[in-house]
Amino acid sequence: MRLNSPMTNPAPPALDIERLRAETPGCESVTHLNNAGSALPPAIVTQAQVDHLRLEESIGGYEAHARAQNHIDAVYDSVAALTHSRRDQVALLESATAAWGRGFAAIHNTRPLGAGDRVLASSNEYASNVLPILQLARSRGVTVEFIPDGTDGCTDVGAFTSMLGPDVAVVAVNHCPSQNGLVNDVAAIGTALRASGSDAWYLVDACQSVGQLPVSASVIGADFLSATGRKFLRGPRGTGFLVASDRAITELEPFPLDLHSAVWQSDGYEVASGATRFESWEKSYAALLGLGAAVDYALDCGIDALAARIQQLAGYARSSLAGVPGITVLDRGAHPSGIVTITHSSIPAPELAARIKSAGVNVSLSTPDYSRIDFDGHGVEGLVRISPHAYNTHDEIDTLVTIVVSLT
């Protein structure tokens, strides 16, 4: 049932909000509207980690790993169900940035990028994805071009198509940017890329979409889809994953390899056959099991139901804040994500975020260095980000709005 397409459930079941809150201990002590940063985990996620750490404490790390192997293997199945992929396409890593970086490094290791190669990136791309590309621009002469936004603020698929050519080696697009509330049509971009006949590698950052929206790797058609555990998925910090295409698994060799991603043989080495080639041996297996618990929790709730609830709360926050004097809601796109972004006409964003936090509501500050092209292009010097999850309530949104009103 978990492998069905999201479109097969047009009417998601209602969530039991009181149960979600009861299963989230942090709800008792904080109003947490920073789920796009790091969400409050359900108790089962924390317990999965503690149980494994206690097992390591009592019998040893390797021995605990061996005893938990079936549960560790099941995490791959859970992530595959979440992303509508196969388990052999899943690599488990320590962050979304590490996942994206492993994919990008494998591309460069297999066929080094240099002068004459173009990389196309969405204008709202996250800094940690752009910086490695800029490194190759500086050291190897790679050309970096940013895809313009359309009239709705999203990455313009038509403009992207017109930019394609045989010299385009890599395309990098952010599914849900963290600083403007929009949702890019990464599936349409993937379709346009393949229809053009381009053999460019396609990387999609799904860091903010996984957990708050249905995400299908097979529909998107990316060679690499990267995500984190700590955000809307409500997993532990220090966890992430990569979903690799069959082409990536077949044609790319990561660098560096280790004894988990390859086997050292008497006449050389053999790279692992599946996406585990993008992993390394050493990781926090307690955190990995926490990630698996978070994915299973989200699947049990129902991704469609979670998405509907998050969208409803974000819409309520957006409309409520838009009526506050001095507040500008910056979100773009015809169908915004669960991320709400605001500025104040007279209070700088760092001060606004600090004052909201000091009043007991967790929000986040975003600054231009997070996404330079997007911030500079829209003349934004900083913003406050509000990101509710399904366990949040309308009363908590009202509390936020009351705080903001009191500051004006």
Question: For residue 4, what pLDDT is reported?
Answer: 34
Does a structural domain hold residue 8?
Answer: no
CATH of the domain at 376: 3.90.1150.10
Task: Judge if 63 and 202 occupy the same domain.
Answer: yes
Task: Judge if 177 and 283 occupy the same domain.
Answer: yes
Q: How far apart are CA 327 and CA 344, in angstroms?
A: 5
Residues 6+ apart with CB under 8 A from 217: 83, 84, 85, 89, 225, 243
Q: What is the phi/psi pair of residue 28, to 5°?
A: -75, -20
Does a structural domain hold residue 329?
Answer: yes
Does a structural domain hold residue 26?
Answer: no
Task: Judge if 102 and 195 occupy the same domain.
Answer: yes
Does a structural domain hold residue 11?
Answer: no
Domain count, the chain: 2
Does a structural domain hold residue 176?
Answer: yes
Task: Estimate to the nearest angstrom the gap between the alpha carbon of 138 and the chain centroid.
Answer: 27
The domain boundary, picked from 299, 323, 344, lies at 299
Task: Judge if 212 and 319 occupy the same domain.
Answer: no
The domain boundary, picked from 299, 326, 361, lies at 299
Does a structural domain hold residue 233?
Answer: yes
Question: For residue 173, what pLDDT is reported?
Answer: 98
Question: For residue 51, what pLDDT is reported?
Answer: 98
Task: Judge if 315 and 340 occupy the same domain.
Answer: yes
Task: Judge if 276 and 326 occupy the same domain.
Answer: no
Domain of 309, in residue numbers? 303-407
Q: How far apart are CA 94 and CA 89, in angstroms?
A: 17
Question: For residue 13, what pLDDT is reported?
Answer: 63
Residues 6+ apart with CB under 8 A from 280: 258, 260, 261
Task: Judge if 272 and 318 occupy the same domain.
Answer: no
Task: Judge if 172 and 317 occupy the same domain.
Answer: no
Q: How far apart are CA 255 and CA 187, in angstroms?
A: 28
Task: Judge if 179 and 228 occupy the same domain.
Answer: yes
Question: For residue 14, what pLDDT is reported?
Answer: 81
Does a structural domain hold residue 314?
Answer: yes
Task: Judge if 193 and 294 occupy the same domain.
Answer: yes
Task: Judge if 282 and 333 occupy the same domain.
Answer: no
Instruction: Collect contacts of 9-15 with beta carbons under 8 A, ≥24 apart.
Output: 9/302, 9/304, 12/302, 12/304, 12/305, 12/307, 12/308, 13/302, 13/305, 14/305, 15/301, 15/302, 15/305, 15/306, 15/309, 15/390
Question: For residue 12, what pLDDT is reported?
Answer: 53
Task: Judge if 206 and 312 occupy the same domain.
Answer: no
The domain boundary, picked from 237, 272, 299, lies at 299
From first to last of its 408 residues, what are the pLDDT tens digits of the chain? Answer: 233 333 344 445 689 999 999 999 999 999 999 999 999 999 999 999 999 999 999 999 999 999 999 999 999 999 999 999 999 999 999 999 999 999 999 999 999 999 999 999 999 999 999 999 999 999 999 999 999 999 999 999 999 999 999 999 999 999 999 999 999 999 999 999 999 999 999 999 999 999 999 999 999 999 999 999 999 999 999 999 999 999 999 999 999 999 999 999 999 999 999 999 999 999 999 999 999 999 999 999 999 999 999 999 999 999 999 999 999 999 998 899 999 999 999 999 999 999 999 999 999 999 999 999 999 999 999 999 999 999 999 999 999 999 999 997
Does a structural domain hold residue 373?
Answer: yes
CATH of the domain at 232: 3.40.640.10
